Structure 1
Amino acid sequence: MVSRLCALESSRMQLLMQKAAQYQAARRTARRTARRTMTARAVKLIATACGPDVQHAIKRS
């Protein structure tokens, strides 16, 4: 009886840990993509604000 209860608890804990790991991974990837889009947007904004010569320099780099 006790061993069965322990097995049940361990399986539930494994599930919880799996969910937590998935959640953390999702958050990490979301943060990465957000950072990428933000930098791209900032570069675009700066380029449009500064004019064509700066746009050309940004494209070359």
Structure 2
Amino acid sequence: MEVKGVCSICGKVAFLHTCRLCGALVCSDCYVPELGVCRICAGKLRRKSLKGAF
């Protein structure tokens, strides 16, 4: 089921996805489908993985 509303990150009115980590409703531009998370959580995940690499 697709839900249309306002993206909680950029404010665009669009069909929304739910971030599996924080639960934010975000548009396609603010969603990272490979990870199933919003771009904010994706950035946090990437920083965590980089810290573990050193």
TM category, shorter? 0.3 to 0.5
**Bigger strand share:** 2
Larger Rg: 1
More RCO (CA 8 Å, sep 6+): 2
